[in-house]
Structure 1
Amino acid sequence: MDAAALDAARISLAPGGDVILPLAMAVIMLSVALTLKLESFAFLKTAPLRFLGAASVQIIGLPLLTLIVIHAITPPASIALGMIVVACCPGGNVSNFYTLMARGDAALSVALTSVSSLSAALLTPVSIVVWTSLYAPSAALVDEINLSALTFIVSMTLILALPLAAGMVFARYFPNSARAMRPWLVWTAIAALAMMAGGGVAANGDLILGAGLTVVAIAIGHNALALMLGAVSGRVLGFDARGRRALTFEVGIQNAGLGLVILLGQFQGIGGAAAITGAWAVWHLISGGALAGWFRFLDRRRRARTNALTNAE
């Protein structure tokens, strides 16, 4: 893999991309907001310290772990940037599905997703700026594209906060319509993103394919560490088995789709960053599903042993 070429590669957008990408980002956040409910924040009253500890693992712990990994393996600047962006994104709603599938604490999962999504309007852009500055090659790469930190934070906050607020208000007063709209909004955003990025990916196809094995290996390793961080943190914070499963998925499943939109729209589609984020977006679905299946297998085996002991008595 030619690191310099990968850092220099850009996923160019089709005409109109500078307008469509912010709209796609807004649609993604609107679709998230349509699922948020005030009841989801009940954990802040019932177990505030433990809940805030779990949220901190998502918001601070994963980016910190990512920075440590980056300094340990010293990947190309663009790949490091993509890893940081993924780590700074909020959790995805897919984590709620996997938690339910794994018989984890679904209420805790929804609450953590709600908090990370709501705080993302400000914390995601601020976190990206802060954590990127702590790895010199990525900081230099960001300087090369003349990204203004203040402009990035303000514009991203507006793009993320407005649809979040609008979506929560709409879901509050029109819950049935919100449930019906959400799947259509998600697929609309995905289709817009695919059309915008498709040409750029094709133009840099040889380069991205050449880096494929490295990118996939880093994405798999990074995701595995994120899942382990969630599991270990759940034990340290004193959650029961169901709570630990929920935190495992909340930390290990990130809204990589949002990260990809941010990279394409705000970071000029830096090739390596977009590649690692795209790999994450695919792999965490595979790893999450496999882990949920493993948890269900363990539950079945435990029940079988319990039944066998009961029958033996």
Structure 2
Amino acid sequence: MEVHFGSENLLILNVILAFMMFGVSLSLTGDDFRRVLKRPDAPIVGLLAQFVLLPAATCLITWYFDVDPELALGMILVSSCPGGSFSNIMTWLGRANVAVSVSMTAVSSLAAMIMTPFNFSLYGWLNPNTRAILTDIQLDSMNILILVALVLGLPLVVGMLVGKTFPAFAEKAQKPMRYITLMVLLLFVGVAFGNNMDVFLATANRIVGLVVMQNLLALGLGAMAAGITGLPRGDRRAITMEVGIQNSGLALAILFTFFPDASEMILIAAFWGVWHLISGLLLAWWWSRSPAQEDTCRDAY
């Protein structure tokens, strides 16, 4: 089975990712990073769940249940990516601590330049079922690092500079950019699915269940890690959402750039891009039913 995807579409995907990160970064300032240093408890818990617990658990589960190697490697790649930028919007909808969510998005996007290729290489090699594929594709971690830096790191820095230099523009443009890029990304994924519907239908009986299970695992690990630390409810919700909403667009960019023939890995990442938005919005709706006074952000953060 082969996924059809042109080089011009790869450029569009990378531009979409860069604009998403740029939009998130417009509201970021140096104070956001200083707040992490002053009150690092919630971001640290979230980052540990994001970059340690989730990829390790994914590796163990795919190994234990003997998941097909290519599907397992796709799941490991998604778990190695940072949180998705739309977690900020869903955190706000769910009456959670948006400051924690934005801080985690910013820090995890920077950390991903090292952690994403490292975790993908490490856990892809630790799982004996995926080790052979990882060896065959001759993973180049440095090239992945460069790609992540270009689509996440550079737009983050540029967005912060634009937000500081043109605050009025940043305030007006931030929300429209997020929603526009969300719609464009969904349209992009929809077209990709439409062009490869035969491939998806042939593997849907395996892909859908695996993605739903892994997304529940991510949400559960985020909630568990935040819960055992005794953090306030708003912080717990932000961490849960940040870990449960993965940057599957980055996973797709990596796959289409370096592993364009890995059709099942690509479909795992593509379906993640649809499903985590559904689960995230449902969770945010459920949280929004709680009294607002119980979920307001702490001024001290």
Superposition TM-score tier, normalisation by shorter sequence = 0.7 to 0.9
* Residue number among 77, 84, 93 corresponding to 1:85 in the alignment: 77
| Structure 2 residue 22 is the aligned partner of structure 1 residue 30 | yes
Residue 94 in structure 1 maps to residue 94 in structure 2 = no
Match of 1:311 in 2: none
Instruction: Give 2:68's aligned amino acid.
Output: P
Check the 8 A contact 1:20/1:192 in 2, yes or no: no
Q: Does 1:66 align with 2:93?
A: no
Cα distance in 1, alignment partners of residues 218 and 185 from structure 2: 29
- TM-score, normalising length: structure 2: 0.83
* CA-to-aligned-CA distance 1:197-255 (integer Å, 9 cap, x gap): 947x5564323212112211111111111111111111112202222111111111112
Q: Which residue of 2 aligns with 1:223?
A: 215
**Aligned partners of 1:33 and 1:167 also within 8 Å:** yes
8 Å contact kept, 1:234–1:244: yes
Aligned positions of 1:131-146 closer than 5 A: 131-146=123-138
Larger Rg: 1
The whole-number CA distance in structure 1 between the counterparts of 2:88 and 2:152 is 21
Structure 1's 10 and 145: CA in aligned 2 closer, same or farther, altered over 3 A? farther
Map of 1:245 onto structure 2? 237
Superposed displacement of residue 191, structure 1: 4.7
One-letter amino acid of the counterpart of residue 85, structure 2: N
Q: Give the match for residue 299 of structure 2.
A: none
For residue 120 of structure 2, what is the aligned residue in structure 1?
A: 128
Equivalence for 1:164: 156
CA contact (8 A) 2:78 2:251 kept: yes
- Counterpart of 1:76 in structure 2 is 68
Residue 277 (1) aligns with residue 277 (2): no
**Helix, strand or coil at the partner of 1:211:** helix
- Per the alignment, residue 259 of structure 1 pairs with 251
After superposition, the CA RMSD in angstroms is 3.0
Q: Which residue of 2 aligns with 1:104?
A: 96
Post-superposition offset of 1:23: 4.2
Aligned residue pairs: how many? 292
**2:45 aligned to 46, 49, 53, which one?**
53
Amino acid at match of 2:109: S
CA distance in 1, matches of 2:21, 2:232: 31
Q: Deviation string for 1:52-93 (max 9, x for gaps)? A: 233221122211121122112222222112212221222123
Contact 2:25–2:159 (8 Å) recurs in 1: yes
5+ residue gaps, structure 1 = 1-8, 303-313
Pick which of 259-268 and 183-192 moved more: 183-192
Shift of 1:161: 2.7
**Contact map agreement 2:101 2:238 (CA 8 A) in 1:** yes
* Identity between Structure 1 and Structure 2 (%): 33
Q: 8 Å contact 1:99–1:292 — kept in the other structure?
A: yes
Please tell me the residue identity of whatever aligns with 1:284. H
Residues 25 and 145 of structure 1: CA distance in aligned 2, closer, same or farther (over 3 Å) = farther
- Answer whether contact 2:244 2:276 (CA < 8 A) is retained: yes
CA–CA distance in structure 1, aligned partners of residues 252 and 198 of structure 2 = 20
Q: Identify if the C-alpha distance between structure 1 residues 287 and 19 changes in structure 2 by more than 3 Å, giving closer, same or farther.
A: closer
Please report the TM-score for the alignment, with normalisation by the length of structure 1: 0.80
Change (3 A) 1:150 1:292: closer
